[in-house]
Amino acid sequence: MNALQSLDREKLPKHVAIIMDGNGRWAKERGEDRVYGHHEGVISVREIVNGCAEAGIQYLTLYAFSTENWNRPQEEVNALMELLVNTIRKEADELNKNNVKMHVIGDFETLPAICQKELNEAIELTAANTGLNLILALSYSSRWEITEATKKIAEDVAAGKLKTEDINDTLFHQYLNTAKFPDPELMIRTSGEHRISNFLLYQLAYAELYFTNVHWPEFRKQNLYEALLNYQARERRFGKTSEQIQTKTAQHA
């Protein structure tokens, strides 16, 4: 039985978030330029989007370009933007055929105009789809997102649209870029680093974290399903005791 068949479809995370790390190191290990690693990383993106759709995952967020990534050498930034534009242009029809709905989170206006155009077209093309929600985090950082949400809440309070006493966890969530999506239950980071790197800090509060040494360009469906199996073997307690969780599970069995 392969890993996909071993998955318990009743216990799948709704939302998986991935930090796609290790493109540069993978390329360097092969004596290639870092950009080669990003190109190969696109193959993994395609594979994992299909893998999530096949497993029945409803939301997949990919950290494709962080706010901090703007500080990389200009040629690498340009190459990444060009790769993004070409990939979206090439893959939009395929995503649409596969019933994938595309979304973007992040500081959209900071992306080059051509990038914004391709993304907007793909978002529009796939808007009516009902399958996997593919969320690309671009020019994204969680501290930026939280700061922006705080500013908007302050403006709404000042304008009398909101009372300070109405601000709670649920309301705050509605001001985040991810307002339409459930929080990820599983966050995967490839390539051996054990960090969250300014990614979905608010939304990952109760997520299970899974780290693998596999570099992103080598990450395949099988690796994804192993991460999902690992997730399914964990006990999610949300601050409660193991006994409370087991009693609740027995009541629902």
Our finding on whether 35 is near ligand FPP (CB under 6 A) is no
Catalytic residue among 23, 33, 50, 69: 69
Would you call 17 helix, strand, or coil by DSSP? strand
- Total site size for ligand FPP, rule CB under 6 A: 19
CA pair distance 18, 136, nearest whole angstrom = 10
CA pair distance 209, 18, nearest whole angstrom = 10
Would you call 229 helix, strand, or coil by DSSP? helix
Site track 111-150 with ligand FPP (rule: CB under 6 A), x = hit = -------------------------x--------------
Q: Quote the least distance from Cβ 77 to ligand FPP, whole Å.
A: 10
Query: 117 or 173, CB closer to ligand FPP?
Result: 117
Residue span binding ligand FPP (CB under 6 A) among the ranges 77-85, 100-108, 166-174, 201-209: 77-85
CA pair distance 228, 35, nearest whole angstrom = 29
Our finding on whether 67 is near ligand FPP (CB under 6 A) is no
Residue listed under structure tokens 């999610």: 236
User: Is 213 tagged catalytic?
Assistant: no
Q: CB-based contacts of 215: which residues, under 8 Å, 6+ apart?
A: 21, 22, 23, 25, 26, 37, 190, 191
Answer for which of 17, 18, 21, 189 binds ligand FPP (CB under 6 A) is 21
User: Is 21 tagged catalytic?
Assistant: yes
CA pair distance 101, 181, nearest whole angstrom = 12
Q: Quote the least distance from Cβ 151 to ligand FPP, whole Å.
A: 27
Q: Are 202 and 142 in contact (CB under 8 A)?
A: yes
Answer for which of 51, 60, 85, 87 binds ligand FPP (CB under 6 A) is 87
Q: What are phi and psi of 50, to 5 degrees?
A: -65, -40
Q: Quote the least distance from Cβ 162 to ligand FPP, whole Å.
A: 35
Would you call 63 helix, strand, or coil by DSSP? strand
Our finding on whether 77 is near ligand FPP (CB under 6 A) is no
Our finding on whether 69 is near ligand FPP (CB under 6 A) is yes
CA pair distance 219, 232, nearest whole angstrom = 19
CA pair distance 158, 206, nearest whole angstrom = 32
Q: Quote the least distance from Cβ 19 to ligand FPP, whole Å.
A: 8
Our finding on whether 103 is near ligand FPP (CB under 6 A) is no
Q: Catalytic positions, please?
A: 21, 69
For ligand FPP, the binding residues (CB under 6 A) are 20-25, 34, 38, 41-42, 45, 62, 64, 69, 80, 83-84, 87, 136
